[in-house]
């Protein structure tokens, strides 16, 4: 992505692989996002239940597995 942009990535920029294959570095598969956006993209199909007393995360569950 840095080569494509012809500049180094900024501190707050992350590269997302749209097909989630980190080996597919074709520019059409890459998306420049913030850290927050990147987390959201990777967690969109997950549920993260919390302990009702402590509020701590219990586990990560893929919605397809529920």
Are 20 and 14 contacting, i.e. CB atoms less than 8 angstroms apart?
A: no
Q: Would you write out the chain's pLDDT as a tens digit for each of its 66 residues? A: 999 999 999 999 999 999 989 999 999 999 999 988 998 887 777 777 788 889 887 776 776 654
Contact between residue 45 and residue 64 where contact means Cβ atoms under 8 Å apart = yes
Kindly list the domain boundaries of the chain, sorted by start residue: 1-46
Long-range contacts of 26-32 (CB under 8 A, 24+ apart): 27/1, 30/1, 30/4, 32/1, 32/5
Residue 1 · residue 27 · CB < 8 Å: yes
């Amino acid at each position: 992505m840095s080569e494509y942009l012809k500049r180094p990535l900024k501190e707050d920029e992350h590269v997302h692989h749209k097909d989630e294959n980190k080996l597919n570095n074709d520019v059409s598969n890459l998306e420049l996002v913030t850290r927050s956006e990147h987390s959201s993209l990777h967690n969109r199909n997950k549920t993260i239940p919390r302990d009702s007393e402590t509020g701590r995360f219990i586990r990560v569950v893929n919605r397809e597995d529920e």
